[in-house]
Amino acid sequence: MNSLGVLMKKEYSQVLRDFKVIWLPLVFVFLGATQPIMTYYLPVILEVLGGTQGISIDPTMIEQTGGQVLAATLGSQFDQLGIMIIVIAMMGLIQSDKSSGMLAFILTRPVTVSSYIGGKLVFNYLLVSVSVGIGYFISLLYIHFLFTSVELSQLIGALLCYLVWVLFSVSFITMLSAVLNSQALIAIVGIITLLICRMLVGLHPMLDAVNPAGMSQHAMNLLISGSIGANLSINLLVTIIWVLLTVIITHYWILQKKFHES
Amino acid sequence: MQLHYGVDELKAIDWMAILPIILPFMAVGFILILIALIDLYRNRKTRKNIFIWTLLILLCNIIGPVLYFVIGRKDGRTY
């Protein structure tokens, strides 16, 4: 049996033991459902709790299309709390193996570093993207009931764009997990860097092109306006280069570590 | 002066219309808390700071159970 398959199976049993396979989708379902419900009930909440004198709410201002709400789900739920959850879930990816001596043990076996990283990355990316997909779908279900429906092609296109940004997040945290030794440090550096990436989006077109979080912006644009942004292909390419770079750094770092120990 | 946030004003909301929409949403959060608490209870002998974890799980809406799953379950492991 090839070693990638074995390592992915190991990863699966690890994830099962951590309950990650249960709670990660649940969290994203929760996040996905939050935005449509909040948006839908905002007028009611304001009306009942806000008092009636002084302010008046123009009902046409609050009415949003399904695409806008779905974009808001991506932008204000998945990109903030969602990113934090992904970082927290993935921060021990290589670090826990390092601290328990498992990494050194695995590397004494006839297993290449690349298949070790590959198994980790592929399995965990699949887990996260399935979770994000389920959350997205639940959000869509609510939007379908409470708002207008969204066109299928935009829907899938936006999800694919968004998953590229998720891929960058996961590989970036894997790199941090290999390089740094403390979980708290990994979490703080990961969350801050990814949130800063997300905040920098929209400042300047040049910056957007090299920013992996630009993919998230493209997904939102696709949902709001229905058209693909101008430099989607450049951004996609740059993001894939970023992902490869993080994977190469992880690979290099683990190889170096092995050299020092032997 | 009348306070705007009166408890009796909650009755003004049409609860029956809201319930079917908001119930699955609350159920998801509840399941998450429940799984975390059950795991904490079953491993109460090996865990440290059980009281703090219970408070954290119950009070911090979604981060609490997640933090428990990621960090809180570490100290019971032996390998």
Number of domains in chain B: 1
Nearest CA in chain A to B22: A37
Among B9, B13, B25, B33, the strongest candidate for a mutation testing the A interface, having the largest count of A CBs within 10 A, is: B25
Whether residue B78 has pLDDT greater than 50: no
- The mean pLDDT of B47-54, rounded to a whole number, is 82
CA distance A138 to chain B (A): 10
In sequence order, the 6+-apart residues with CB closer than 8 A to the CB of A187 are: A87, A88, A91
Number of domains in chain A: 1
- B8 in any annotated domain: no
CA pseudo-torsion sign B14, B20, B25, B30? positive
Choice between A46 and B4, residue whose per-residue pLDDT is larger: A46
The one-character DSSP state at A80 is I
CB contact under 8 A, B32 and A49: no
Domain of B43 in residue numbering reads as 19-72
- B13 in any annotated domain: no
Residue A226 near residue A80, CB atoms below 8 Å:
no
Nearest CA in chain B to A50: B4
ipTM value, please give it: 0.77
Mean pLDDT of chain B: 76
pLDDT given for residue A96 in this prediction: 83
- B38 in any annotated domain: yes
pLDDT given for residue A108 in this prediction: 80
pLDDT given for residue A249 in this prediction: 92
Q: Is B56 exposed, middle or buried (0-12, 13-18, 19+ CB in 10 A)?
A: middle
pLDDT given for residue A56 in this prediction: 63
Tokens of A113: 């570093």
- B42 in any annotated domain: yes
- CA–CA separation, A168 vs A183, rounded Å? 19
pLDDT along chain A (262 residues), means of 10: 77 82 89 87 71 62 77 87 90 84 80 85 92 92 85 88 93 91 89 91 82 88 82 89 93 75 46
Domain of A252 in residue numbering reads as 3-261
Choice between A154 and B4, residue whose per-residue pLDDT is larger: A154
CB contact under 8 A, A30 and B62: yes
Give how far Cα B64 sits from Cα of A104, B15, B53, B69, Å: 33, 28, 8, 9
- B29 in any annotated domain: yes
The H or E element that residue B55 is part of is helix B50-59
Tokens of B66: 């997640």
pLDDT given for residue B50 in this prediction: 82
pLDDT given for residue B13 in this prediction: 62
pTM equals 0.85
pLDDT given for residue A224 in this prediction: 87
